[in-house]
Chain A
Amino acid sequence: MLNGNIENINLLLGEICDPEIPVLTITDLGIVRKVFEENNLFIIQITPTYSGCPAMDMISMEIRMKLIENGIKNFKIETVLSPAWTTDWMSENGKKKLAEYGIAHPNKFNNVDAGPKECPQCHSANTILISNFGSTACKALYQCNDCKEPFDYFKCH
Chain B
Amino acid sequence: MINRILNLADNNLILCQRNGEWCGHGPILEQDIAITNITLDLLGQARLWYQYASTLMNVDNNSYSEDSLAYRRNEREFLNILMVELPKGNWGFTILRQYFFSQFQFLLYSRLKNSGDTTVAAIAEKSLKEISYHIKWSSEWVLRLGDGTDESHEKMQDALDDLWPYTGEMFIAANFENEDECNELKIEWLQKVSPLLEEATLNIPENTFMQTGGKSGIHTEHLGYLLAEMQYLQRAYPDAKW
Contacts and interface: CB of A to CB of B under 8 A. Distances in A.
Q: Do A and B bind each other?
A: yes
Interface of A: 48, 50-54, 80-85, 130-137, 141, 157
Range class of the B interface residue count: 20 to 34
Contacts of A136: 37
27 contacts: A50-B41, A50-B130, A51-B45, A52-B39, A52-B40, A52-B42, A52-B43, A52-B45, A52-B47, A53-B40, A54-B40, A81-B48, A81-B123, A82-B121, A82-B122, A83-B125, A84-B122, A84-B129, A131-B30, A131-B31, A131-B33, A131-B34, A133-B30, A133-B38, A135-B33, A137-B37, A137-B41
Nearest to B39: A52
Contacts, number: 69
B40 to A, nearest CB: 4
B43 to A, nearest CB: 5
Contact of B122 (A50, A53, A81, A132): A81
Contacts of B40: 50, 52-54, 137
Interface string B112-141: 000000110111011111100100110000
Interface of B: 30-31, 33-34, 37-45, 47-48, 118-119, 121-123, 125-130, 133, 136-137
A70 B34 CA distance: 40
A25 B42 CA distance: 26
Contacts of A135: 33
A84 B125 contact: yes
Contacts of B30: 130-131, 133, 141
A80 to B, nearest CB: 8
A53 B33 CA distance: 14
A113 to B, nearest CB: 10
Contacts of A48: 44, 126
A7 to B, nearest CB: 29
Contacts of B38: 133
Nearest to B41: A52
B126 A82 contact: yes
Nearest to A52: B44
A83 B124 CA distance: 11
Q: Which are the 8 A-B pairs with shortest beta-carbon distances? A: A52-B44, A51-B44, A52-B40, A131-B30, A82-B122, A81-B122, A133-B34, A84-B126
